[in-house]
A = this chain, B = another copy of it.
Amino acid sequence: MEGFSFWTDVRIRFAETDAQGIAHHASFVVWLEVARVAHLAKHAGGYQAIRDGGIEALTTEVNLRYHRAAYFDEALRVWARCGDLRGARFAYEYRVERDGELVADGYTRHATVDRDTYRPTRVPAWLADAIATAEASSG
């Protein structure tokens, strides 16, 4: 994956399918989150570290384009990368693949807020540094 260096794998659960016989489109939103959490765990000490630092990262936008149907018990690879870090905002891009074939792609946008006041708060320097380092090393 050009530009991506991190991925996580998910296997489609039966509960994630629907009566069309395919993975329900809302299931993908959860898989993006799984990848985001795994990415932060690897590069930034984990989502829990962010929360422990008095910060909540809210999701402010989700975009997903579905290119192929996916089915029960299939293994999907979710590529994720973080970028566009500015002030209290950052974004993630994703590609969801099955055996190298594009199934879906999309992005999410996030805002960091103070956990008590819910006011926008700059992404902490340690988190910004961790993300910058992660993406730089992914060449």
Point out residues on A near B: beta carbons under 8 Å.
13-15, 17-22, 24-26, 29-30, 33-34, 37, 41, 46-48, 56, 58-66, 69, 71-73, 118
Contacts and interface: CB of A to CB of B under 8 A. Distances in A.
23 contacts: A13-B30, A14-B19, A14-B47, A15-B18, A15-B24, A15-B26, A15-B33, A17-B19, A18-B18, A19-B19, A19-B21, A19-B22, A19-B72, A20-B58, A26-B26, A29-B29, A46-B73, A47-B73, A48-B72, A60-B65, A61-B63, A61-B66, A62-B62
Task: Count this chain's copies in the assembly.
Answer: 4
Chain A, interface SS category: mixed
A118 B68 CA distance: 11
